[in-house]
Amino acid sequence: MLRPILLLALLTVTLAARSTGPSFRDQQLQHPRVQAAYTEAWPALRRQLAQQGIDPARLEVFFRVFKIGRKLEVWVRNAGAPAFQLLKTYPLAGSSGTLGPKRREGDGQVPEGFYRIDRFNPESLYHLSLGLDYPNAADRRLGSARPGGDIFIHGSNVTIGCLPITDAGIREVYVLATEARQAGQTEQWVHIFPFELSEEQLHNRRGSVHYAFWQTLAPGYQQFARHRTLPCVSTDAQGAYVLE
């Protein structure tokens, strides 16, 4: 017969487990497409992470997108590590709009700026998708009264303002983002740039109507390029990005 103290301890653990509910990963795995993504993509991704010294239980991710070159980069590190390292690069399977930020609903533009993933959609019309927090503070201050919304990284190869990376690509990216969230990374950044914002590249485009805006993006881009650490970026009263 169990002693009263031991019985009380077991009941406490059981009640605590029930109160916490399923983990974020478990919630996602209730959806068939996420199950299939894990089956197909996770074993190889886990091996690659191990080869680069990344522990999935401590995984953090960062996503960087370039319009020129049409690519999405996935960077990873162990939580607490000083620098990110490149894991994989995915070509954008489609594009719309031109260089420059998104300023109004229906303009077909892909945004440019510093964003966070704020939605995991396991039942997307485009297989799987990760939503960005567009419009952010800068977009709201500089854009029209109707800046639009619903910007996603998603599957397929079609888009009007979003970032498609094929169904195979989004399966991998979705699993990585899920694992990072499971490991405790609630803030996952997505930086979207027109091109590599080096001083030389900026100088070559100094005649663009977007030049002043791109100058506000450049410090954040350049910090990561030099140190592989995420910049701390805020927005001033005029809507410009400011590196803190």
Instruction: Report the distance separating Cα 240 and Cα 217, nearest Å.
Output: 9
Instruction: Report the distance separating Cα 154 and Cα 165, nearest Å.
Output: 6
- Taking only the tens place, the pLDDT of each residue in 44-83 is 999 999 999 999 999 999 999 999 999 999 999 999 999 9
- pLDDT of 87 > 50? The answer is yes
In terms of pLDDT, which residue wins out, 162 or 19? 162
Q: Does the active-site annotation cover 162? A: yes
What's the confidence (pLDDT) of residue 68? 97
- Taking only the tens place, the pLDDT of each residue in 102-113 is 999 999 999 999
- pLDDT of 14 > 90? The answer is no
**φ, ψ at 181 (rounded to 5°):** -65, -40
- 195 secondary structure, DSSP code: S
Q: Which CATH class is domain 22-231?
A: mainly beta
Q: Does the active-site annotation cover 154? A: yes
- Taking only the tens place, the pLDDT of each residue in 139-154 is 999 998 899 899 999 9
- pLDDT of 9 > 70? The answer is no
Q: Which of 127, 162, 191, 203 does the annotation list as catalytic?
A: 162
What's the confidence (pLDDT) of residue 144? 87
What's the confidence (pLDDT) of residue 64? 98
pTM to 2 decimal places = 0.90
pLDDT band at 11 (very low <50, low <70, confident <90, very high): very low
Query: Any idea where the domains of the chain sit in the sequence?
Result: 22-231
Q: CB of 90 within 8 A of CB of 169?
A: yes
Minimum mean pLDDT range among 16-25, 34-43, 165-174, 216-225: 16-25
What's the confidence (pLDDT) of residue 220? 97
Cα–Cα distances in Å, from 36 out to 1, 156, 157, 167, 210? 45, 16, 20, 11, 42
Q: Which of 154, 191, 210, 232 does the annotation list as catalytic?
A: 154
What's the confidence (pLDDT) of residue 19? 54
pLDDT band at 237 (very low <50, low <70, confident <90, very high): very high
Instruction: Report the distance separating Cα 195 and Cα 67, nearest Å.
Output: 6
Look over the chain and give the mean of its residue pLDDT values, rounded to a whole number.
92
